[in-house]
């Protein structure tokens, strides 16, 4: 993609350009300047008061799963029934009353007890990853820490066994590609259909195991809600387990890696640098350093 020219009216495509990926804040600033100058910036909304008003406006809908495959031919869409079914059950793509029902259920499982359990768990997983770095002597921050950590945490919250995480992450990634691409291709949609079929089989088996032997995890909580008062369908369990895995790991990995890049670029890297320096050069236990990376 071409680099944008800084003084022209920006487009959302500029965010996906090499310069936009390096520094999206510069693109946001151009949007704000263009809007203030009365330029036509299309359907982009940049002012807080406008964003707040739109979020509260009931005429707008989040029910956009159907639109994601819309650019494709009808025969291709007909060959992707599981893609449509998975996306349609996701809480972020529903309007009230479905959105309210699923959201309330998910929110009720994020209790204080869960947060405490997750805090201890993050510390244990983080220490384990950093100890592995210390043992090997050097590491790539993204590969060794920011990529695995969020998925391990969300996987543990959901109740996906650690040995299955890579497979599950691979399937869930299709949601990011499809939803994020803005213009899905036939190849992408058909590949996603195959992956969603495998993922569904996997979740069906895992759900059966948790139903017979519930654990202290989100999947068991979703099953209890589904079985108890019929508040969640089997499809919604699969869709939202997949969504939580995606929403919970991709976003956090990107934030941690981009945050580290930003720290390097503006020179506020001291803590991280010291931490990785100690790990690499002294091979000390990561426990005392883990807090520097949080
Ligand atoms: C840095 C990390 C994260 C970022 C930047 C982020 C960003 C977002 C954004 C922008 C949305 C709105 C999506 C839309 O409607 O288009 C969203 C929704 C959501 N996110 Fe995150 N997220 C992050 C981490 C997480 C984590 C760790 C979880 C759960 C483990 C999570 C669960 C959710 C859920 C359930 C929704 C849907 C809420 C609803 O529709 O009521 N997110 N997130």
Say if residue 2's pLDDT is above 90.
Answer: no
Least confident among 38-52, 80-94, 165-179, 193-207: 165-179
Domain identity same for 56 and 69: no
> For 97-120, what is each residue's pLDDT tens digit?
999 999 988 887 777 887 888 898
For CA atoms 250, 253, 256, 259, give the dihedral sign: negative
5 secondary structure, DSSP code: P
Among the atoms of ligand 1, which is closest to the Cα of residue 106?
35
Encode burial over 8-36: b for 16+ CB neighbours within 10 A, e otherwise: ebbbeebbeeebbeeeeeebeebbeebbe
For the CA of 62, the closest atom of ligand 1 is 15
Report how many domains make up the chain: 2
Asked if residue 129 and residue 240 are part of one domain, the reply reads yes
Residues 184, 73 share a domain = yes
CB of 247 within 6 A of ligand 1: the answer is yes
Q: For ligand 1, is residue 175 a contact (CB within 6 Å)?
A: no
Looking at ligand 1, which atom is closest to the CA of residue 249? 27
Instruction: Judge if 38 and 172 occupy the same domain.
Output: no
Q: Are residues 23 and 73 in the same domain?
A: no
Identify which of 251, 253, 255, 260 to mutate to test ligand 1's pocket (most ligand atoms within 8 A of the CB): 251
Share of the chain above pLDDT 90, in %: 47
| pLDDT reading at 250 higher than 90 | no
Residue 163 has pLDDT above 80, yes or no: yes
- Residues 50-79 have a mean pLDDT of 93
Rounded average pLDDT over 178-196? 87
Residues 235 and 281 in one domain: yes
DSSP state of 68: H
Whether ligand 1 lies within 6 angstroms of the CB of 91 is answered as yes
CATH of the domain at 132: 1.10.630.10
Q: Which atom of ligand 1 is nearest to the CA of 91?
A: 40
Give the residue from 42, 60, 78 where a domain finishes: 60
Alpha carbons 195 and 210: distance in angstroms, whole number: 22
Token code pair at residue 159: 């109740």
Q: Tell me how far the alpha carbon of residue 223 is from its chain's centroid.
A: 22
Ligand 1: which atom is nearest the Cα of residue 103? 41
Whether residues 199 and 86 fall in one domain: yes
Lowest mean pLDDT among 16-20, 99-103, 223-227, 282-286: 282-286
- pTM for the model stands at 0.82
Q: Is the pLDDT of residue 3 over 80?
A: no
Task: Give 151 Cα–ligand 1 centroid separation in angstroms.
Answer: 14
Comparing 68 with 279, which gets the higher pLDDT? 68
229 lies in the same domain as 132: yes
| Ligand 1 touching residue 241 (CB < 6 A) | no
**Final residue of a domain: which of 60, 88, 106?**
60
Q: Give the highest mean pLDDT range of 32-36, 138-142, 224-228.
A: 32-36
> What is the crossing angle of helices 186-212 and 81-88, to 10°?
60
Same-domain pairing of 237 and 162: yes
Considering the domain architecture, whether residues 17 and 137 belong to the same structural domain is answered as no
Predicted pLDDT of residue 273: 52
pLDDT tens profile 252-283: 998 998 888 777 777 766 555 545 544 444 44
The mean pLDDT of 42-65, rounded to a whole number, is 93
Pick the residue whose CA is nearest to atom 12 on ligand 1. Answer: 92
Give the residue, by CA position, lying nearest to ligand 1 atom 24: 248
Best substitution site from 92, 178, 246 to test ligand 1's pocket, by max atoms within 8 Å of Cβ? 92
Which of 13, 35, 60 is at the close of a domain? 60
Q: Is 103 in the pocket of ligand 1 (CB under 6 A)?
A: yes
13 and 134, same domain (yes or no): no
Peptide bond into 97 cis (omega under 30): yes
Across 22-46, average pLDDT: 92
Q: How far is the CA of 251 from the centre of ligand 1 (A)?
A: 8
Q: Are residues 230 and 254 in the same domain?
A: yes
Write down the pLDDT at residue 287: 38
Determine whether the shortest distance from the Cβ of 190 to ligand 1 is under 6 A: no
For 16, the domain range is: 1-60
284 CA distance to ligand 1 centroid (A)? 35
Query: Atom 3 of ligand 1 has which residue's CA nearest to it?
Result: 251
């Amino acid at each position: 993609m071409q680099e944008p020219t800084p003084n022209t009216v920006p487009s959302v495509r500029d965010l996906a350009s090499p310069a936009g990926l390096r520094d999206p804040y510069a693109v946001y600033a151009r949007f704000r300047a263009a809007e203030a100058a009365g330029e036509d910036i299309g359907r982009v909304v940049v002012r807080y008061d406008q964003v707040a008003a739109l979020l509260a406006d009931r005429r707008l809908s989040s029910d956009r799963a159907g639109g994601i495959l819309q650019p494709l031919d009808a025969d291709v869409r007909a060959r992707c029934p599981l893609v449509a079914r998975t996306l349609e059950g996701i809480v972020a793509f529903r309007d009230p009353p479905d959105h309210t029902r699923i959201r309330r259920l998910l929110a009720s499982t994020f209790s204080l007890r869960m947060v405490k359990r997750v805090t201890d768990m993050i510390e244990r997983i983080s220490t384990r990853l950093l100890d592995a770095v210390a043992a090997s002597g050097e590491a790539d921050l993204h590969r060794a820490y920011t990529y695995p950590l969020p998925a391990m945490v969300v996987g543990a919250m959901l109740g996906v066994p650690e040995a299955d995480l890579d497979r599950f992450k691979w399937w869930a990634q299709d949601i990011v590609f499809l939803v994020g691409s803005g213009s899905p291709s036939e190849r992408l949609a058909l590949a996603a259909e195959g992956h969603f079929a495998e993922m569904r089989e996997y979740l069906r088996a895992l759900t059966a195991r948790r139903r017979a032997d519930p654990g202290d995890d989100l999947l068991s909580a979703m099953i209890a809600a589904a079985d108890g008062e019929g508040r969640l369908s089997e499809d919604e369990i699969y869709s939202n387990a997949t969504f939580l895995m995606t929403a919970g790991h991709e976003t956090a990995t990107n934030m941690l890696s981009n945050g580290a890049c930003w720290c390097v670029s503006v020179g506020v890297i001291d803590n991280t640098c010291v931490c990785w320096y100690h790990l690499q050069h002294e091979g000390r236990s990561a426990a005392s350093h883990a807090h520097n990376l949080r």
